Amino acid sequence: MQLKHFECDTVCGFMVQGYDRDEIYKIATDHVKKSHASANITDEMVQGLITTIETEPESK
Ligand SMILES: [Zn+2]
């Protein structure tokens, strides 16, 4: 599975991850709009901050 991971800068420390890419993107854009309104972070920059982590399917 592909885990999506968004991490803000280290000063801010905001981080979110999950399997729903759209949800992570929404939370991330929401966060930068609320917390970094003056930083002019574009949607493209947010997308650039979202990384994909390959995870092993859980075996039973
Ligand atoms: Zn932040």
Torsion of CA 40, 41, 42, 43, to 10 degrees: -150
Distance of CA 2 to the CA centre of its chain: 13
Residue 58, pLDDT > 80, answer no
Amino acid 57: pLDDT: 79
- pLDDT tens digit sequence for 1-50: 899 999 998 999 999 999 999 999 999 999 999 999 999 999 999 999 99
Instruction: Measure 22 CA to ligand 1 centroid, in angstroms.
Output: 18
Q: Enumerate the domain spans of the chain.
A: 2-54
The answer to whether residue 59 scores a pLDDT higher than 80 is no
Q: How high is the pLDDT of residue 45? A: 93
Cα-to-centroid distance, 3 and ligand 1 (Å) = 20
DSSP-derived letter for residue 37 is: G
Show the tokens assigned to 20.
């729903």
How do the residues of the chain divide into helix, strand and coil, expressed in percent and rounded to 5?
A: 40, 25, 35
pLDDT of residue 39: 92
CA-to-CA distance for 25 and 22, rounded, in angstroms?
A: 5
